[in-house]
Amino acid sequence: MKSYTYVEKSGKNFKPTATAQEVSFAKKDIYAKADKNRIAFWEDLAKEGIDWIEPWENGKAYQQKGNSFAWFKGGKLNLCYNAVDRHLNKPEKSAIVFVPELMHEKKIVISYKELFKMVNNAAAMLKYNGVKKGDVVSIYLPMIPETLAFMLACVRIGAIHGVVFSAFSPDALRTRIKDAGAKVLITSDIYYRRGKKESLKKKANKATRGLRIKKIIIPRAKVGKFLNQDHFNYIQPEVMDAEDLAFILYTSGTTGKPKGVMHTTGGYAVSTYWSAKYIFNMQEGETIWCTADIGWVTGHTYACYGPLLNGATTVLFEGMLDYPTPARYLQIINDNDVSIFYTAPTALRLFAQHGNKYPNKYKLNSLKILGSVGEPIDEKTWLWYYTNIGKKRCPVIDTYWQTETGTIVICSPPGIGPFIPSYAGKAFPGIDYEIADEKGKKLPLEKKGLLVQVPPFSPSLIRGVWGDPKRYKTYFIGKYYLAGDNAFKDAQGNIRILGRSDDVIKVAGHRLSTAEMENAIEGLLGVVEAAVVSKSDALRGKVPIAFVKSRWPMKEEKIVGIVNKKIGPIAKPAKVYFVKDLPKTRSGKIMRRVLKALLANEDPGNIMTLVNPESVKDIGEMLKSPPSPPKK
């Protein structure tokens, strides 16, 4: 396969080559075009990219009243039709490539025609189980083709899917099923992780004990065949309003309760189709491998809807990227002619630990574009990615977005650039981001502050928090949408993300709530109170550290165990410190900022306003003292 060079060095940064500019869908003039009239810009994209059953009312593409806003209201469409049915003119084109974790199992390639059959059969199964338009269906599945088929089946019949990350614990699943009021749960018996069987069914049974919910269980042995049988039930796609809900996806906020982020049909379809096209230059028939799990928004948008809306092929890999050898991910790219590889900095740091030993064995000529997502990518990792996987031919596109934005909102498109290590880039055409202070006042360029989106809001931005309209309001500061991240913007409009401004932490790119971990720990008998803060980690970006005040001596494993049970293994504290007292203000608020500073070996700042300043000294000394030797 011939390879092209899409990027070249330009001073300390990188820019697209003439070839990249020529072959890219988004050209330099796109920003000016979008800025002229952002609503008209999105209207044109909506008409060109998506098949509508009925158009929205002329002149009413965007409506806003206070914090409520709508895109293309009155317009009718079906998301599943756009992702599957409309590609049936090329029925043999590959839609999904499923790569099992076990090396002796063969990959399964599913064509659009087969996916169409699978989706219709899944839709029939949902209907048979009483699912109607507006009902919520919980999906607790690994990375198998059936997961995508059931998601698409939901949106086909107007049901709302709520996918729950398969590594979440039964308690976490139960909370989400109950909050969503799901009617049906779709799960599987097992899947493979590092060669071992993980039983999802057991966890699902535990989660649903005593709940009135129907279950559909997909046997691992029938992957690719469970829905792809001889019989075929055609189910007419439901006519959906652009503002009807497509899905909810739970994410972590600053309280202990996860929030169901609501996404609607029309805006999501338009933003997903175009972000995939403009940011990844996604062409019909090309292969993208987005390594994110389907339980996170990245999996929804760039492993499922983005590729399928564009008629591309999506790779689903069941297992761990470095199993059974650190070359596994390279083999998958190589064997499947992957042209777009999209992963998280934590995975890249893991790969980079092995230097260039493994990547040097592969040419990776099929690659065009590399993406990074989920957490800030440091310059060293960026350069390793560019050099060893991209072979200095492919741009590294750092993509910033959130469960709430639904699609990528800040990045440097491949034909435009510039690609600056550690900068996410400019706001996507038609979207405006600014930096504001805590009162919601816009700050000048180069000043650090809160990242905010300026109305008219992006088409796929969150429309509500499931069952909690009050919580939705906390997303807004004045007229702006508040992202929850700190950032600054340089004179060219390039934005650098500096990390969360709230108590959410990103562990290996996974979004977790410190409050949820604290709630879990505080539920243990004998615990008086707990504070969880993040600490930088060379591999995982950030890790949670727990400070616990207990009534009697406790073992660290007990604290780690309860977090594992209530949330899942990804949230396990990396270290637990048992303390005499937690630093508090007079009003009783735990000063997590002080704990964070102590962990980072930084000055904790003014502590005289605390009721117990001596606690800071005690904890400081405890952190400095060498860890006690392991018990025999």
Question: Which residues contact ligand PRX by CB under 6 A?
Answer: 251, 296-298, 373-376, 398-403, 424, 483-485, 497, 500, 506, 511
Q: How many CB atoms lie within 10 A of CB 309?
A: 26
Q: Cβ(451)–Cβ(435) under 8 Å?
A: yes
Identity of the residue, 137 or 497, whose beta carbon is nearer to ligand PRX in the bound complex: 497
Report, in Å, the least distance between residue 250 CB and ligand PRX. Answer: 10
Cβ neighbours for 89, distance < 8 A, ≥ 6 positions apart: none
Strands 480-489 and 449-454: antiparallel
Among residues 240, 235, 237, 176, which one has the least CA distance to residue 208? 176
Identity of the residue, 296 or 428, whose beta carbon is nearer to ligand PRX in the bound complex: 296
How large is the angle between the packed helices 112-128 and 145-157, nearest 10 degrees? 60
Report, in Å, the least distance between residue 206 CB and ligand PRX. Answer: 25
How far is the CA of 451 from the CAs of 169, 256, 373, 422, 537, in angstroms? 32, 23, 17, 16, 24
Identity of the residue, 368 or 511, whose beta carbon is nearer to ligand PRX in the bound complex: 511
Report, in Å, the least distance between residue 166 CB and ligand PRX. Answer: 16
Report, in Å, the least distance between residue 334 CB and ligand PRX. Answer: 26
> Dihedral of the CA atoms 348, 352, 357, 361 (nearest 10)?
20
Identity of the residue, 223 or 533, whose beta carbon is nearer to ligand PRX in the bound complex: 533
How far from each other are the two terminal CA atoms of the chain, in whole angstroms? 58
Among residues 91, 231, 172, 294, which one has the least CA distance to residue 566? 172
Q: Cβ(121)–Cβ(131) under 8 Å?
A: no
Q: Cβ(81)–Cβ(236) under 8 Å?
A: no
Report, in Å, the least distance between residue 374 CB and ligand PRX. Answer: 5
Report, in Å, the least distance between residue 269 CB and ligand PRX. Answer: 18
Report, in Å, the least distance between residue 564 CB and ligand PRX. Answer: 20
Q: Cβ(510)–Cβ(296) under 8 Å?
A: yes
Identity of the residue, 376 or 418, whose beta carbon is nearer to ligand PRX in the bound complex: 376
Q: Cβ(429)–Cβ(401) under 8 Å?
A: no
Task: Please give the structure tokens belonging to residue 427.
Answer: 């706001």
Identity of the residue, 393 or 511, whose beta carbon is nearer to ligand PRX in the bound complex: 511
Identity of the residue, 314 or 403, whose beta carbon is nearer to ligand PRX in the bound complex: 403
Q: Cβ(258)–Cβ(251) under 8 Å?
A: yes
Q: Cβ(174)–Cβ(207) under 8 Å?
A: yes
Indicate the residue type of 397.
Answer: I
Identity of the residue, 121 or 251, whose beta carbon is nearer to ligand PRX in the bound complex: 251
Report, in Å, the least distance between residue 209 CB and ligand PRX. Answer: 29
Identity of the residue, 62 or 433, whose beta carbon is nearer to ligand PRX in the bound complex: 433
Identity of the residue, 301 or 313, whose beta carbon is nearer to ligand PRX in the bound complex: 301
Cβ neighbours for 189, distance < 8 A, ≥ 6 positions apart: 199, 200, 201, 217, 218, 219, 220
Identity of the residue, 120 or 514, whose beta carbon is nearer to ligand PRX in the bound complex: 514
Tokens 């509508």 belong to residue: 52
> Dihedral of the CA atoms 522, 475, 568, 180 (nearest 10)?
100
Identity of the residue, 244 or 375, whose beta carbon is nearer to ligand PRX in the bound complex: 375
Report, in Å, the least distance between residue 482 CB and ligand PRX. Answer: 11
Residue 615 exposed, middle or buried by CB count within 10 Å (0-12, 13-18, 19+): buried
Report, in Å, the least distance between residue 321 CB and ligand PRX. Answer: 17
H/E stretch holding 127 reads: helix 112-128
How large is the angle between the packed helices 514-522 and 556-566, nearest 10 degrees? 120
Q: Cβ(178)–Cβ(186) under 8 Å?
A: no
Report, in Å, the least distance between residue 489 CB and ligand PRX. Answer: 14
Report, in Å, the least distance between residue 501 CB and ligand PRX. Answer: 9
**Residues counted in the chain:** 632
